[in-house]
């Protein structure tokens, strides 16, 4: 007698990021996307890694409370240069300032991911260290005009032309830099009974 596939739990990505949506789609699990609406203001004295982890957990919890039984994924990323956080530049001028400050130095990206089903929560944080080449202002301007990465913390999209700015990238989870650590996430999903390799191919909900 053929075995009956177990019923699949609803999977929700608590994010408005198109990058995280594209990454999660790689796992070929059906999922929906809901904006978490979480205040991302840092708490007084909060460190960048603590901020990333708190926000990832808060995003997952915010949606899981309204969708009992669903597996909700939350993620957040904070980049730091030395002890200072680096945000999204928003425009060309601020992006150029960021890249000038970063050239020849190492930027650390703290990428946190959490899963919440309303009863329990799992979370993890992945560090990615990016060392930038020492490039001229002309090269930095050429990159910014070509890619316009103004919605990206650190002003460089390593998954695209921004890789040309890099001297090296060190991480245990290569997709963490883009915004969602899929190795950590797959491991965590398995603890909730959802493994992409056990499921038939699914289309994104």
Q: Which residues are catalytic, by number? A: 76
Residues facing residue 123 across a β-bridge:
114
Token pair listed for 189: 């999903």
Cα–Cα distance for residue pair 108/95, rounded to 1 Å: 17
167 burial level (CB within 10 Å; 0-12, 13-18, 19+): middle
Tell me, letter by letter, the H, E, C secondary structure of the chain: CCCCCCCCCCEEEECCCHHHHHHHHCCCCCCEECCCCCCCCCCCCCCHHHHHHHHHHHHHHHHHCCCCCCEEEEEEEEEEECCEEECCCCCHHHHHHHHHHHCCCEEEEEEEEEEECCCCEEEEEEEEEEEECCCCHHHHHHHHHHHCCCCCCCCCCCCCHHHHHEEEEEECCHHHHHCCCHHHHHHHHHHCCCCHHHCCCCCCC
């Amino acid at each position: 007698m053929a075995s009956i596939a177990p019923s699949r739990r609803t999977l929700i990505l608590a994010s408005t990021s198109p990058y995280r949506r594209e990454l999660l789609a790689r796992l070929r699990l059906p999922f929906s996307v809901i904006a978490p609406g979480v205040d991302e203001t840092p708490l007084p004295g909060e460190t960048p890694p603590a901020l990333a982890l708190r926000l990832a957990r808060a995003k997952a919890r915010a949606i899981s409370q309204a969708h009992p039984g669903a597996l909700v994924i939350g993620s957040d990323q904070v980049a730091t240069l030395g002890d200072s956080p680096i945000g999204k530049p928003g425009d060309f001028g601020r992006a150029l300032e960021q890249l000038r400050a970063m050239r020849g130095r190492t930027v650390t990206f703290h990428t946190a991911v959490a899963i919440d089903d309303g009863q329990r929560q799992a979370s993890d944080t992945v560090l990615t260290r990016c060392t930038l080449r020492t490039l001229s202002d002309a090269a930095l301007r050429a990159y910014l005009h070509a890619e316009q990465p103004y919605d990206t913390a650190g002003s460089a999209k390593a998954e695209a032309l921004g890789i040309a700015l890099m001297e090296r990238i060190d991480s245990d989870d290569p997709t963490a830099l883009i915004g969602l650590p899929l190795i950590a996430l797959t491991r965590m999903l398995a603890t909730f009974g959802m493994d992409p390799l056990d499921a038939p191919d699914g289309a994104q909900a």
